[in-house]
Copies of this chain bind each other. A is one copy, B any other.
Amino acid sequence: MADEITETSQTVAAGQLRAIIERIERLEEEKKTISDDIKDVYAEAKGTGFDVKAVRQLVRMRKQDQAERQEAEAILDLYKAALGMV
C-alpha cells in the first residue's frame, strides 16, 4: 500500500521534474542564441576595424555610475603617477 502511494507520488514528481528541466533547457537554448548574437556583434565590430577589447571595456564602463567611475579613474591615475607608470 505504502509502496503504491510512493510510486504514484514519484510518477507525478517525475512529470513535474521533466517539465521543469525542459523549461530550463529551452531557456538555456534561448540564452545561448543571444550569447551567440552578442559574439556576432563583436565580430562585426572587429571586422569594421574597431578594437574589441576597448569596446568590451566601454560596455562595462557604461554600466557604472559616472561619478563613481570618474573617481575610480582619478585614484588609479594618482597611484600610477606615484609608481612612475605612464
Contacts and interface: CB of A to CB of B under 8 A. Distances in A.
Interface of A: 10, 13-14, 16-18, 20-21, 23-25, 27-28, 30-31, 34-35, 37-38, 41-42, 44-45, 48, 50-51, 53-55, 57-59, 61-62, 66, 70, 72, 75-76, 79-80, 82-83, 85-86
B59 A17 contact: no
7 contacts: A14-B82, A14-B83, A17-B83, A31-B31, A51-B72, A51-B75, A54-B79
Copy number in the complex reads 4
B79 A25 contact: no
A29 to B, nearest CB: 10
A14 B50 CA distance: 11
